[in-house]
A = this chain, B = another copy of it.
Amino acid sequence: VPGPGEQMAAEVAEQPAVLARLLDEGSGEAVDVAAALGRRRPRFVLLAARGTSDHAALYAKYLVELRLGLPCGLVSASTFTVYGARPDLREVLLVAVSQSGGSPDLLGTVEAARECGATTLAVTNAPGSPLAQAAELTIDVRAGEEHAVAATKSYTAELLALFLVLDRWAGGDGSAAGVLPEVCADLVARRGEVAELAQRYRFASRLVVTGRGYSYATAREAALKLMETSYLSAHAFSGADLLHGPMAVVDPEHPVLAVVPEGTAAAAMAPVLAAVAGRGADLLVLGSPGIAPAGARLLALPTGLPEELHPVVDIVLLQWLALEVAVGRGLDPDAPRGLSKVTRTW
């Protein structure tokens, strides 16, 4: 009988190998998809996903806006599948991201989008899935079968697959990603450090996670992992949104985690960190020592990595945190209450 969280831990630890395999075996597919997109020249991009994959989509949104200079939106699945809308999607690329490729609402969205004239791309861990078959273009993230209910390796593989396609579509050569397996391995090796830190959150009932720009995706995914495994009410806000109202829930009784890797967004997060610290919150900064206000705890993130690649690896420390907080509470993150691996929504 496996111990609590062993399955999730094994998949967290597998991530350096998963990223290396995708770089090795998937780059050709990424080149082909990027070339097809280059020929199609879509002018707008829509992203469709649920749960963890929705955070991969959010990461892709920033890449599309910043690297490709195209307007981009996250699609409301209900528009197509509940309300039956059939919008004009000529010159639109719709990207569906899904680990299992099995969610009926995503499948319905891809089918409808195709009928409406969109170019469709499925990013999945299941190349034979209905979703992959429904889309015109597909990329297999090659994460291997994922058993843990809390998705980890499929998430980082989705991020890397999206980077490889979008970077090449934008004219890059994907080579910046070559360092990721090694950086990821360094983070995987820091489980003990995170386990010690997790003690602090043993009795937290709610928690705020914040980040901005590319790292907003990391904040969102960290909050979801904490909810799924530890049943914490973990609430993610972009740094700017946090200042608009939700700052009222920040107080000394509840922890705040801020994801602030080196890069352009870090400067924009400085006033957010100052406001959080000024309210006496218990603050943990994932970032570099220079950015953390006095009194904040620090979990160091890798240095020297392009900002746009940080989400692919930074999440590892937060996956460990979610797992260790859950185990510390006597919970089994491999058997979260109320959840199953494939969620079927319409």
Contacts and interface: CB of A to CB of B under 8 A. Distances in A.
Interface of A: 43-44, 46, 50-52, 54, 61-62, 65-66, 68-79, 82-83, 85-89, 91-92, 105, 205-206, 212-213, 216, 224, 227-229, 231-233, 235, 238, 240-241, 243-251, 254, 264-265, 267-268, 271, 275, 279, 336-339, 343, 345-346
Secondary structure type dominating chain A contacts: mixed
B62 A76 contact: yes
Contacts of A337: 248, 251, 279
A228 B79 CA distance: 30
Given A61-B76, A78-B240, A248 B231 contact: yes
Given A247-B339, A249-B231, A241 B54 contact: yes
A52 B83 CA distance: 25
A77 B231 contact: no
9 contacts: A44-B44, A50-B240, A69-B85, A69-B86, A76-B213, A231-B251, A233-B233, A233-B249, A279-B338
A66 B50 contact: no
Given A79-B62, A213-B78, A240-B105, A245 B51 contact: yes
B44 A71 contact: yes
A2 to B, nearest CB: 20
Nearest to A346: B268
Given A70-B87, A76-B61, A76-B62, A245 B228 contact: yes
A343 B243 contact: yes
A247 B338 contact: yes
What 9 A-B pairs have minimum CB-CB distances, sorted nearest first?
A: A73-B73, A51-B244, A69-B87, A206-B233, A240-B345, A65-B79, A82-B268, A44-B44, A247-B338
Given A44-B44, A228-B248, A346-B268, A85 B65 contact: yes
